[in-house]
Structure 1
């Protein structure tokens, strides 16, 4: 079964790199540069990759709204930021993982795959 990821990242270069990397790994990728475009999505991914600082809001608020939705709450979330640290993020939203930018490509792909395997197994 093909894995699906939804990416919310305002930096076009990072968004394109992530889209390319996950596509090359066999994922179906939905990517968005703003919260407003993300909210119009009807995607049902296996995992979310969310930036924190976005032009029209905060990715941690998006994380909270996903985790508050009983239909989506079990879908794992990886938060990423160059400006905040893991402890700040974990105190404000219930993401399963946090990645600092710049990130190591294999680390990001490995963490995403591990989370999806846990999500599908549970």
Structure 2
């Protein structure tokens, strides 16, 4: 499949489950727990970003807006996830292509990921 997904999620259980699940689906996955690590270690523009909203050192919606304002990543689809923010707050806070409320159904999440990856800039 050779599609690359970058996850910014501070909850280690959710991040690890996503990394394992998406790796088993054939995706190359990079996971980060902080905004600092995300920006300092992220290697290249992936096919999809999955960002949590509430992070220990920042806000995923601000990260989304930074990615959408960067010419290198502005066309890359972004999926926002949150257990705390409501959908209208998330949709007005950033220009992500997809929004997921935690807890999420794994099958629904995989369909949304597939849809975004297959409609992204590299396809």
Fold shared per TM-score above 0.5: yes
Would you say the 8 A contact 1:6–1:43 is kept in 2? no
1:49 aligns to what? 50
Query: Hey, what does 2:85 align to over in structure 1?
Result: 84
TM-score normalised over the length of structure 2: 0.95
Cα deviation code 1:25-60 (max 9, x no counterpart): 000000000000000122321000000000001000
**Which segment is superposed worse, 112-121 or 42-51?**
112-121
After TM superposition, the score normalised by the length of structure 1 is: 0.96
Q: CA RMSD, aligned part only? A: 0.9
The residue that corresponds to 1:100 in the other structure is 101
Task: Extract structure 1 runs of 4+ deviating beyond 3 A.
Answer: none
SS at 2:118's partner residue?
A: helix
5+ residue gaps, structure 2, are: none
Measured in 1, the distance between the counterparts of 2:32 and 2:69 equals 21
Aligned mates of 2:43, 2:24 — CA distance in 1: 23
Q: Does 1:12 align with 2:12?
A: yes
Stretches of structure 1 that go unaligned for 5 or more consecutive residues are none
User: What does 1:17-56 correspond to in 2, within 5 Å?
Assistant: 17-40=17-40, 41-56=42-57
